A and B are shown apart, each in its own frame.
Chain A
């Protein structure tokens, strides 16, 4: 009932582990596989190893979940090993990559392709490394388009571009990456945010600013996905604040073909994938749906 295809690849369910959550250890991916995950996105990797920011790098407040991990990763060598190990699983693997320059994005795409991930997701929208990289590539259509071309020109693997909601009009960016050859879009990355501890008058994240995720951003993610669906013909992975089966159905109705679950793992543990899948099936049976594809884009009249 929940099995689906995305760019020609089969998924047992549309529930994808979003990038940056638990995505560093192939052995732990096995645990997630037993807990019902439909596909796995690795954490974002760069050519060179990065230490990332100091703790605190994530916490949850009454309003949402904040993180500024700073794209810590072991570099391309570790990325290739992780993807190769992860390929032994029975769920599709999306390799998430990022870089500081357009050329480097191309180089990353070329090198990660060696490991043969099922998809490459180009993270052009991390809000937590601005001081290092300046404005993110996803903030204007020209740079978004250039990165997409660079990645596409260096691989035969399907390319997904992950977009930021921290823009004036995400539709323009979505159109630009589609025209540049993107095979799909992931939306949304986190929203820029911060918290200050008033006793010590200090921002809590060591990076001061971070990305907001979690339940609070679900309406924002939904609107962005809805808008993108109206604008482009390529499929969308809808991500942002999904914690229940009904959330996932709603995201599919807005136009997502797959659904990313990230911070949901915080609220409901790694079992969240089985839980959401069960809740989706129950809802579909109750409402007379037999195939998940009947739900995708259903809210667009």
Chain B
């Protein structure tokens, strides 16, 4: 009988860099090394405020970064932080993406959903042909654009302020008419991911989507993130096409 010894207590590290992309989006880099797979997530603890789950957008030898959009008390407080201050984190948690090799792949990112796809993108471009459809409400929402090679990128915005004035799913449908993909990865508003999954099913392309739910523990104890008979923190956050068809709730959540 094996019982794995685990600890899941917030570990405090210092902030080494802060990038304010605009008034609403911030990337914070923490000093420390993190062994994380694309699609996994961490919890970030802001002492005396709260703790929230985030995707990791960048990992280097002695730092890792997460990106947040200003929404409530926690994310607003992030904008008051300075270099050298302490933040806690724990994780990584969850099941990540399944990176393929030597394939034609398409990544479809909606808004801040791109944050959960950054590590995957960096890994996939090493040995795949990658197309990245990246959409947002407006050009301010395309915060990761400069990290992506233009040859891979198809941009769109709801208001047409950058790229095509269209939804990512429209671009995807058009591209599917002339290109074939072996694998699709997506993260963004759930309604978008549902449409992507449906298009993939129609064209018989395997796909994976990263889901989001309110969460407390991240390790399968509190039960808050249950979606039908699965836990987003433990069984996800990345689910494959077959799992997604079993999740009746998928596509109905507006939590993002």
Residues of chain A at the chain B interface (Cβ within 8 Å): 21-25, 27-28, 30-31, 43, 54-62, 69, 195, 197, 199-200, 202, 204, 206, 243-245, 263, 265-270, 275, 279
Determine if B90 is an interface residue (Cβ-Cβ < 8 Å).
yes
Q: Is B231 an interface residue, CB under 8 A from the partner? A: yes
B224 touches A60 (CB 8 A): no
Bound state CA distance, A215 and B91, in angstroms? 21
Given contacts A244-B1, A244-B3, contact A263 B221 (CB under 8 A): yes
Interface residues on B, range: 20 to 34
**8 Å CB contact of B221 from A58, A197, A202:** A58
Residue numbers of B with Cβ under 8 A of A are 1, 3-4, 6-10, 12, 43, 45, 47-48, 50-52, 86, 88, 90, 216-217, 219-224, 226, 228-231, 234
User: Do residues A204 and B216 form an inter-chain contact, with CB atoms below 8 A?
Assistant: no
- Complex alpha-carbon distance, A30 and B4, angstroms: 25
**Given A56-B10, A59-B9, A60-B6, A269–B226 Cβ distance below 8 Å?**
no
Give the chain A neighbours of B222 by CB distance below 8 A: 21-22, 57-58, 69
Among A27, A28, A60, A202, point to the contact of B48 (Cβ < 8 A): A202
In the complex, are the beta carbons of A267 and B221 less than 8 A apart?
Answer: no
> What's the Cα separation between A61 and B88 when bound, in Å?
14
| Of A59, A265, A275, most B-chain CB atoms within 10 Å | A59
Question: Given A24-B226, A55-B51, A61–B7 Cβ distance below 8 Å?
Answer: yes
Additional A-B contact list (19), CB under 8 Å, known A22-B231, A195-B9: A22-B221, A27-B226, A28-B228, A30-B229, A54-B51, A55-B50, A55-B51, A55-B52, A56-B43, A56-B51, A58-B221, A60-B6, A60-B219, A197-B47, A200-B86, A244-B1, A263-B221, A266-B219, A270-B220
**Can you list 30 A-B pairs with a CB-CB distance of less than 8 A?**
A22-B222, A22-B231, A24-B224, A24-B226, A28-B223, A55-B45, A55-B50, A55-B52, A55-B216, A56-B10, A57-B216, A58-B217, A58-B221, A59-B8, A59-B10, A60-B8, A69-B222, A197-B10, A200-B86, A202-B48, A204-B45, A206-B51, A265-B220, A265-B221, A266-B220, A266-B221, A267-B3, A267-B4, A268-B3, A275-B1
**How long is the Cα–Cα vector from A202 to B48 in the complex, in angstroms?**
7
A58 near B216 (CB under 8 angstroms)? Answer: yes
Query: A23 to chain B: which residues have CB within 8 Å?
Result: 223
Q: Which residues of B contact A27 (CB under 8 A)?
A: 226, 228-229
A-B CB proximity, top 9 nearest:
A22-B223, A55-B51, A25-B226, A199-B12, A202-B47, A200-B47, A56-B51, A28-B226, A60-B8
Asked if A21 and B50 make an inter-chain contact with CB atoms under 8 angstroms apart, the answer reads: no
Q: Report the separation of the CA atoms of residues A294 and B216 in the bound assembly, to the nearest whole angstrom.
A: 41
B217→A57 contact, CB < 8 A: yes
| Chain B residue contacts of A21, Cβ below 8 A | 221-223
**Chain B proximity of A124: nearest CB distance (Å):** 22
